[in-house]
């Protein structure tokens, strides 16, 4: 039941609060029966393909999907026909290529199946070429200079590894999006390339242990955090509407101090919303498993069972759009911004990442015998090396304007990458480092080491300690990357992780081969390289409190970069090391990296620009007029006192006079900041280079916004509550 508000005034804020008077949980009657009865009913899954395709075509498609190979163009027509029949049977009228342009959203342009014949009749048509490739007018998608607008051609091409699905009445075909020259204009293309890279390298390393592994896939299990606010309150705040976060607002006396929201009973309105969006998600095959209240008031989380990386990313984007769509039915607005409210926790999207084989083995989980444990260790130390070699790039992959407000805020890890391995693994790594000699190894010591390594699983089960302050933590059978922001496409961190891992694995294999070539036995060679990687990656391992100031100092000493300036973080994409990494594994070319860099800096610049305009607009049109109204009220009051008690003004109106002075000082400063803001922007807009301009916006405009905000928040504490035009934090964050 919503909290009931009674109010009689007529400001925007009061009107918004009035809307709450009649809020009830919106009834949602879910589908009868078990979820498994309708799970993925709107997805063209393998079992549906089997039904709608001929045996021969089905076998070919299945082999291509499972083997990660191309689908032969010659069967595309038959696949398209089967897909069309299935989709139309389920009520679809349109189809679209569904892709992920570089603006962090998804894109779709619907075409009807309908085709008029020449006799006044019509029929439904769809064929292989429409399935395989489309040519959307790409001129308005960000391309970072990869595609001139006059040559606006871009292609979307079917990604058979992610199944087609029906949203509303449209058949959506997951696709990549590339330029005329084949350069990636999206997230999916490099994600698929990075998956291929890590597959190649991991299979090679697996071959050191046994030959049956022919395919390795990275898995992703994301945890999506979000805020919900009542739609009326949302609509009353221009900052939330236009920037996704509040640019002003004094913290409420009570927010998350008592930890009474985390894992608390889910409010009824929210529960109905969750049930409805989850049902939609299940129909789309998104395997949601977990839902709970998060730490901040109005904050929640949901997480699915992990899936193959590419599908998990698609499912995350799908879920976000489903949530956006369902929320208004419950008079709610869902916020994915990383930091919608200052002073309470922000929202992340933890990415749980692991690698598994086509033989059913999780390569980041300890095995059942010494041999499989050595393989586990090999993969484990490769992750350490990837983090040590490319930590700054990994952090840069999650850098964004929104996330910069969250990282390092005593709620999320700082913007410096370290790895938490847990006490068991930490001890194991130290003992390996000590017990394996860099040069000679006796048969006895070899056996002893293997026995020791063989014990990992026994000591590790139920023993995976948690360290919530680490950005990258080993949690028993996977690594949890906690820095990604809630609104971002988590493909980017996955692309970087997969590629960095591919690089480590390739190096691992090369090093073992080199030792073997020198006459070392394979198992000894493997142990030695494991040791070498442990030693070489020591700087990135940190078991302590990642939120502490001491750690930041220590990290700096270790040479780990902390990117607190977003515009600087983006430069990691273009370092010599990063370019070499991405190009050598054929994940992103130099031009593609430059394009991403350009898009990211430009987006950063635009977001700060929009925020600074909004805050100045709100200061001038909402806050200052309110302050003046209240000032006048006080002035009248002081005048009245003077009239009645001419000799006692200073005594009787002392408080009012003091408040008047405070308001005058604050409004003055607000006016000054507003003028300064415009001047700074004018000056900075003359800077030609976008990256340079973005950096200076971040360094000059953002701090000015903060000081402006401080004055406004101080005013909020002084001005009569009835006058205050904006819905307050204590109202937005307490009314579900």
- Footprint on this chain of Mg ion (rule: CB under 5 A): 223, 350
493 forms part of the interface with ligand ADP (CB under 6 A)? no
CB count, 10 Å around CB of 5? 15
Q: How many helices (H) and strands (E) does the chain have?
A: 28, 18
533 binds, among ligand ADP, Mg ion, none (CB under 5 to 8 A by kind): none
Give whichever of 476 and 691 is closer to ligand ADP, judged by the CB atom: 476
Give whichever of 177 and 379 is closer to ligand ADP, judged by the CB atom: 379
We find the least distance from the C-beta atom of residue 487 to Mg ion, in angstroms, to be 18
Give whichever of 20 and 217 is closer to ligand ADP, judged by the CB atom: 217
- Tell me which of 42, 219, 400, 566 binds ligand ADP, using CB under 6 A: 219
304 binds, among Mg ion, ligand ADP, none (CB under 5 to 8 A by kind): ligand ADP
**The two three-digit tokens of residue 298, written as one number:** 């109005």
Number of residues that bind ligand ADP (CB under 6 A): 15
Closest residue to ligand ADP in the complex (CB): 221
Give whichever of 94 and 350 is closer to Mg ion, judged by the CB atom: 350
Query: 220: buried, middle or exposed (CB in 10 Å: 19+, 13-18, 0-12)?
Result: buried
Give whichever of 224 and 507 is closer to Mg ion, judged by the CB atom: 224
We find the least distance from the C-beta atom of residue 145 to ligand ADP, in angstroms, to be 36
Encode burial over 383-400: b for 16+ CB neighbours within 10 A, e otherwise. bbbbbbbbbbbbbbbbbb
Looking at the DSSP bridge assignments, the partners of residue 158 are 175
Give whichever of 478 and 696 is closer to Mg ion, judged by the CB atom: 478
We find the least distance from the C-beta atom of residue 305 to ligand ADP, in angstroms, to be 5
We find the least distance from the C-beta atom of residue 231 to ligand ADP, in angstroms, to be 27
In this structure, is the dihedral angle defined by the CA atoms of residues 172, 176, 179 and 185, taken in order, positive or negative? positive
Segment (H or E) for 351: strand 349-357
The backbone torsions φ and ψ at residue 305, rounded to the nearest 5 degrees and listed phi first, read -70, 140
| DSSP result, 220-234 | EEEEEEEEEEEHHHH
* CA-closest candidate to residue 507, choices 397, 383, 373: 383
For residue 329, the 8-state DSSP code is G
We find the least distance from the C-beta atom of residue 497 to Mg ion, in angstroms, to be 17
Angle in degrees, CA 278, 281, 287, rounded to 5: 90
Euclidean distance between CA atoms 553 and 112, whole angstroms:
59
* CA-closest candidate to residue 548, choices 429, 389, 418: 418
We find the least distance from the C-beta atom of residue 412 to Mg ion, in angstroms, to be 12
- Tell me which of 362, 609, 659, 671 binds ligand ADP, using CB under 6 A: 362
Give whichever of 136 and 485 is closer to ligand ADP, judged by the CB atom: 485
306 binds, among Mg ion, ligand ADP, none (CB under 5 to 8 A by kind): ligand ADP
483 forms part of the interface with ligand ADP (CB under 6 A)? no
305 binds, among Mg ion, ligand ADP, none (CB under 5 to 8 A by kind): ligand ADP
Stretch that binds ligand ADP, among 142-150, 161-169, 219-227, 598-606 (CB under 6 A): 219-227
Give whichever of 486 and 701 is closer to Mg ion, judged by the CB atom: 486
| 550-554 own/partner pairs: CB under 8 Å, 24+ apart | 551/414, 551/418, 552/414, 552/416
11 binds, among ligand ADP, Mg ion, none (CB under 5 to 8 A by kind): none
Give whichever of 354 and 504 is closer to ligand ADP, judged by the CB atom: 354
- Tell me which of 104, 204, 223, 592 binds ligand ADP, using CB under 6 A: 223
**The two three-digit tokens of residue 137, written as one number:** 């007018």
Q: Which residues contact 105 (CB under 8 A, 6 or more apart)?
A: none
478 forms part of the interface with ligand ADP (CB under 6 A)? yes
303 binds, among ligand ADP, Mg ion, none (CB under 5 to 8 A by kind): ligand ADP
Stretch that binds ligand ADP, among 198-206, 346-354, 385-393, 606-614 (CB under 6 A): 346-354
We find the least distance from the C-beta atom of residue 350 to Mg ion, in angstroms, to be 5
Per-position x/- string for 298-317, each x denoting binding to ligand ADP as judged by CB under 6 A, each - no binding: -----xxxx-----------
Euclidean distance between CA atoms 390 and 167, whole angstroms:
38
We find the least distance from the C-beta atom of residue 356 to ligand ADP, in angstroms, to be 7
Stretch that binds ligand ADP, among 475-483, 533-541, 610-618, 722-730 (CB under 6 A): 475-483
Give whichever of 163 and 422 is closer to Mg ion, judged by the CB atom: 422
Euclidean distance between CA atoms 346 and 340, whole angstroms:
7
**The two three-digit tokens of residue 526, written as one number:** 């493997």
Block residue for tokens 């819905």? 727
CB count, 10 Å around CB of 213? 20
Euclidean distance between CA atoms 193 and 318, whole angstroms:
21
**The two three-digit tokens of residue 246, written as one number:** 């509040």
347 forms part of the interface with ligand ADP (CB under 6 A)? no
659 binds, among Mg ion, ligand ADP, none (CB under 5 to 8 A by kind): none
Stretch that binds ligand ADP, among 241-249, 273-281, 348-356, 728-736 (CB under 6 A): 348-356
- Tell me which of 18, 139, 477, 702 binds ligand ADP, using CB under 6 A: 477
**The two three-digit tokens of residue 172, written as one number:** 């959506």
Give whichever of 499 and 601 is closer to ligand ADP, judged by the CB atom: 499
We find the least distance from the C-beta atom of residue 297 to ligand ADP, in angstroms, to be 19
Give whichever of 332 and 419 is closer to Mg ion, judged by the CB atom: 419
Euclidean distance between CA atoms 700 and 480, whole angstroms:
34
Give whichever of 352 and 392 is closer to ligand ADP, judged by the CB atom: 352
Q: Cβ distance 616 to 675 under 8 Å?
A: no
Block residue for tokens 């292989």? 128
411 binds, among Mg ion, ligand ADP, none (CB under 5 to 8 A by kind): none
Give whichever of 223 and 239 is closer to ligand ADP, judged by the CB atom: 223
Q: Which residues contact 701 (CB under 8 A, 6 or more apart)?
A: 608, 609, 612, 677, 680, 681, 684
**The two three-digit tokens of residue 639, written as one number:** 């005048």
We find the least distance from the C-beta atom of residue 282 to Mg ion, in angstroms, to be 21
354 forms part of the interface with ligand ADP (CB under 6 A)? yes
User: What 3-state DSSP class applies to 172?
Assistant: strand
Q: Which residues contact 456 (CB under 8 A, 6 or more apart)?
A: 366, 373, 376, 377, 424, 428
We find the least distance from the C-beta atom of residue 213 to ligand ADP, in angstroms, to be 17
Block residue for tokens 């007529």? 10
The full length of the chain comes to: 736
In this structure, is the dihedral angle defined by the CA atoms of residues 722, 728, 734 and 736, taken in order, positive or negative? positive
Q: Cβ distance 382 to 504 under 8 Å?
A: yes
Among positions 166-185, residues that touch ligand ADP (CB under 6 A) are none
Give whichever of 319 and 627 is closer to Mg ion, judged by the CB atom: 319
Euclidean distance between CA atoms 152 and 179, whole angstroms:
8
**The two three-digit tokens of residue 555, written as one number:** 């990290």
We find the least distance from the C-beta atom of residue 621 to ligand ADP, in angstroms, to be 42
Q: Which residues contact 341 (CB under 8 A, 6 or more apart)?
A: 227, 245, 246, 249, 296, 729, 732, 733
Stretch that binds ligand ADP, among 77-85, 328-336, 349-357, 583-591 (CB under 6 A): 349-357
Residues within the interface to ligand ADP (CB under 6 A): 219, 221, 223, 290, 303-306, 352-354, 362, 477-478, 480
């Amino acid at each position: 039941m919503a909290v009931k508000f009674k109010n009689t005034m007529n400001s925007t804020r009061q009107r918004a609060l009035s809307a709450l008077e009649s809020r009830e949980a919106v009834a949602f009657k879910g589908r009868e029966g078990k979820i498994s009865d309708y799970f993925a009913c709107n997805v063209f899954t393998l079992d549906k393909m089997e039904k709608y395709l001929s045996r021969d075509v089905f076998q070919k498609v299945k082999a291509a999907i499972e083997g990660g190979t191309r689908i032969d163009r010659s069967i595309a027509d038959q696949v398209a026909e089967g897909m069309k029949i299935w989709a139309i049977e389920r009520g679809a009228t349109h189809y679209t290529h569904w892709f992920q342009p570089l603006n962090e959203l998804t894109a779709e342009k619907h075409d009807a199946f309908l085709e008029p014949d020449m006799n006044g009749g019509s029929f439904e048509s769809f064929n292989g070429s429409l399935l395989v490739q489309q040519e959307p007018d790409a001129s308005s998608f960000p391309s970072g200079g990869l595609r001139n607008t006059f040559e606006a051609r871009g292609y979307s091409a079917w990604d058979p590894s992610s199944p087609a699905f029906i949203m509303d009445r449209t058949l959506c075909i997951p696709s990549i999006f590339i330029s005329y020259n084949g350069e990636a204009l999206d997230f999916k293309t490099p994600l698929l390339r990075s998956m291929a890279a890590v597959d190649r390298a991991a299979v090679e390393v697996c071959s050191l242990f046994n030959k049956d592994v022919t395919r390795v896939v990275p898995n992703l299990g994301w945890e999506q955090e979000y805020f919900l606010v009542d739609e009326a309150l949302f609509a009353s705040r221009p900052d939330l509407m236009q920037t996704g976060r509040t640019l002003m607002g004094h913290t409420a006396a009570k927010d998350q101090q008592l930890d009474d929201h985390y894992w608390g009973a889910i409010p009824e309105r929210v529960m109905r919303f969750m049930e409805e969006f989850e049902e939609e998600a299940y129909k789309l095959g998104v395997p949601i498993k977990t839902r709970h209240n998060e730490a901040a008031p109005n904050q929640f989380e949901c997480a699915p069972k992990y899936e193959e990386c590419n599908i998990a990313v698609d499912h995350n984007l799908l879920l976000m759009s489903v949530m956006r769509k369902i929320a208004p039915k419950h008079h709610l607005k869902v916020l994915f911004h990383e930091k919608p409210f200052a002073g309470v926790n922000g929202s992340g999207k933890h990415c749980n990442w692991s690698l598994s084989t086509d033989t059913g083995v999780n390569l980041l989980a300890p095995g059942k015998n010494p041999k499989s444990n050595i393989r586990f260790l090999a993969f484990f130390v490769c992750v350490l090396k990837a983090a040590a070699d490319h930590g700054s790039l990994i952090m840069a992959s999650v850098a964004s304007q929104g996330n910069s407000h969250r990282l390092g805020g005593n709620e999320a890890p700082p913007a410096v990458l370290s790895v938490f391995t847990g006490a068991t693994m930490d001890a194991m790594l130290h003992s390996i480092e000590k017990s394996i000699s860099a040069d000679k190894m006796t048969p006895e010591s070899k056996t002893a080491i293997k026995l020791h390594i063989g014990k990992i699983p026994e000591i590790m089960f139920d023993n995976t300690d948690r360290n919530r302050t680490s950005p990258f933590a080993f949690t028993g059978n996977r690594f949890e990357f906690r820095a990604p922001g809630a609104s971002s496409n988590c493909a980017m961190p996955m692309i970087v992780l997969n590629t960095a891992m591919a690089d480590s694995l390739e190096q691992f294999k090369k090093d073992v081969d080199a030792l073997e070539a020198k006459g070392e036995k394979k198992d000894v060679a493997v142990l030695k390289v494991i040791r070498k990687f442990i030693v070489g990656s020591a700087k990135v391992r940190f078991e302590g409190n990642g939120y502490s100031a001491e750690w930041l100092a220590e990290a700096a000493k270790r040479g780990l970069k902390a990117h607190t300036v977003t515009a600087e973080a983006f430069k990691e994409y273009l370092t010599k090391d990063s370019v070499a990494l991405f190009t050598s594994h054929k994940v992103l070319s130099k031009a593609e990296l430059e394009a991403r860099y350009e898009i990211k800096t430009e987006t950063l610049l635009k977001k700060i620009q929009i925020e600074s305009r909004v805050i100045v607009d709100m200061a001038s049109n909402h806050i200052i007029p309110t302050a003046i109204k209240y000032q006048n009220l006080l002035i009248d009051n002081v005048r009245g006192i003077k009239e009645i008690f001419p000799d006692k003004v200073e005594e009787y109106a002392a408080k009012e006079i003091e408040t008047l002075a405070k308001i005058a000082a604050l409004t003055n400063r607000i006016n000054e900041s507003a003028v300064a803001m415009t001047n700074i922007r004018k000056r900075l807009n003359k800077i030609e280079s976008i990256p340079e301009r973005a950096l200076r916006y971040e360094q000059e405009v953002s701090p000015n916004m903060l000081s402006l905000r401080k004055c406004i928040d101080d005013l909020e504490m002084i001005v009569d509550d009835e006058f205050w035009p904006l819905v307050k934090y204590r109202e937005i964050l307490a009314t579900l």
